[in-house]
Amino acid sequence: MLMAGVGACSPLETFNAIVPKDAGVASVGRDLAFGTDPRQKLDLYRPAASATGKPLPIIIFLYGGSWNSGDKGGYAFAGRALASRGFLVAVPDYRLVPQVRYPTFLEDNAAAVRWVAAEAARYGGDPSRIVLVGHSAGAYNAAMLALDPRWLGADRTRIRGFAGLAGPYDFLPFEGPVTRAAFGREPDPASTQPIRFASRDDPPSLLLHGTGDTTVLPRNSQRLAERLNAAGATAELRLYPGVGHVGMVTGLARPFRGRAPVLADVATFASRVTASP
């Protein structure tokens, strides 16, 4: 169930400004446009030096915020944390409610993925090895791109895995103002739900959730994991005792990694699914 309180996931600009960042990471692209709207821009991070010189696997991190708030500048800590583990990391903005509604924010995310696939080699990335990672509403977006072939088309074959942090995947009916504003005009509500698209063709998934999350209930991750595994895909579920909704993303930051191994679990998963070939 997705509760109206999902707005608790703020842009985190203040948090990002004061939290210590991971060393050994370079910002290699700022405000790179993947479309014509001012919101259609992304930032790139990568390790400052590569031990092998080989193209890096890629993580595209999609932030949350109820589909109505968020800014990539508030998530530099997440981009740098993931890049420090050996990835080229893209953090895109995308258009938000009320400027747009479903499915436009998914179309923006898909455009960002296609841009990364086309341009990543210039920044040292391997476009055939992409992992989608998202938190909250961003986990929903990442799940839809990974599981529903409508959004990426042939580029979906580049997605080696999906990692969702506290994502809403099964939240009908649209009861609260957040979901009604984002999805309420869709004539086929079931088509908006990631759980509907579970199939044996889906990439491996890692579903992480805190048992203390009262904003997006853990059963969203539990049900999606069950459905994916039943369909013949591979899904791993990890529940972190007592961790709340925002704690799932702040757990990527250096001072809070002791509360839950979010970064270690995502990095281990992404490394495994992007291992050559």
Return d(Cα 82, Cα 89) in angstroms, integer.
Answer: 7
Interval 62-84 mean pLDDT: 96
pLDDT digits 0-9 by tens, 236-265? 999 999 999 999 999 999 989 999 999 999
* Beta carbons of 179 and 68 less than 8 angstroms apart: no
Return d(Cα 187, Cα 81) in angstroms, integer.
Answer: 40
What is the pLDDT, as a whole number, of residue 276? 75
Interval 135-164 mean pLDDT: 97
What is the pLDDT, as a whole number, of residue 49? 77
Angstrom CA distances, 209 to 134, 200, 217, 241, 243, stand at 12, 23, 8, 9, 8
What is the pLDDT, as a whole number, of residue 4? 38
- DSSP conformational letter for 10: -
Interval 155-159 mean pLDDT: 96
Return d(Cα 87, Cα 80) in angstroms, integer.
Answer: 10
Nearest CA among 43, 6, 269 for reference residue 163? 269
Tokens of 93: 């903005």
Return d(Cα 230, Cα 228) in angstroms, integer.
Answer: 5
- Residues 6 or more apart in contact with residue 174 via CB below 8 angstroms: 180, 183, 184, 189
3-state helix, strand, coil in the chain (%, to 5): 40, 20, 40
Answer whether residue 80 shows pLDDT above 80. Answer: yes
Answer whether residue 7 shows pLDDT above 50. Answer: no
pLDDT digits 0-9 by tens, 31-43? 999 999 999 999 9
What is the pLDDT, as a whole number, of residue 3? 43
Structure-model confidence comparison of residues 8 and 50, the more confident one = 50
Interval 11-30 mean pLDDT: 84
Nearest CA among 65, 116, 60 for reference residue 91? 60
What is the pLDDT, as a whole number, of residue 13? 74
Confidence band (pLDDT; 50, 70, 90) for 14? confident
Interval 190-213 mean pLDDT: 98
Consecutive H or E run containing 219: helix 219-231
Return d(Cα 71, Cα 92) in angstroms, integer.
Answer: 8
What is the pLDDT, as a whole number, of residue 52? 58
Give me the CATH code for the 4-273 domain, please: 3.40.50.1820
Buried b / exposed e along 25-53 (16+ C-beta atoms within 10 A)? beebbeebebbebebbbbbbbbbeeeeee
Packed helices 262-273 and 76-83: angle between N→C axes, nearest 10 degrees: 50
* Beta carbons of 3 and 72 less than 8 angstroms apart: no
Interval 218-234 mean pLDDT: 98
Return d(Cα 210, Cα 231) in angstroms, integer.
Answer: 25
Strands 41-47 and 235-240, how do they pair?
A: unpaired
Average pLDDT, the chain: 93
Answer whether residue 205 shows pLDDT above 80. Answer: yes
What is the pLDDT, as a whole number, of residue 9? 44
Structure-model confidence comparison of residues 23 and 51, the more confident one = 23
Confidence band (pLDDT; 50, 70, 90) for 50? low
Q: Reduce the secondary structure of 262-273 to three states and give it as a string.
A: HHHHHHHHHHHH
